[in-house]
Amino acid sequence: MTIGEARARVEEIRAKSGDDEWAHSAEDEMYLAILRQLVEAKTAQEANDAALVAAIALETQDIDFQRWCA
């Protein structure tokens, strides 16, 4: 995931935050994709890029929606 893609996903989650279930699922999927990107990084640059993407993804924590777990 690129920095631009991460920003777009955060904004999509923000825009659809009125749908708690959708927003929470999208947030979880984004986090999982970034974890995979970190694990699969083959170079220091890829790892650094993934870390920047992760920092952007954490902005979703400031979006107000219910995060439910069963």
Q: What is the pLDDT of residues 6-33, one digit of tens each?
A: 999 999 999 999 999 999 999 999 999 9
pTM of the shown model: 0.89
Q: What are phi and psi of 58, to 5 degrees?
A: -65, -15
The pLDDT assigned to 70 comes to: 67
Task: Give percent above pLDDT 70 in the chain.
Answer: 99
Distance of CA 45 to the CA centre of its chain: 19
**For residues 41-50, average pLDDT:** 95
Q: CA 56, CA 39: separation in Å to the nearest integer?
A: 18
Q: Which residues touch 65 (CB under 8 Å, ≥6 apart)?
A: 17, 18, 19, 20, 23, 24
The pLDDT assigned to 16 comes to: 97
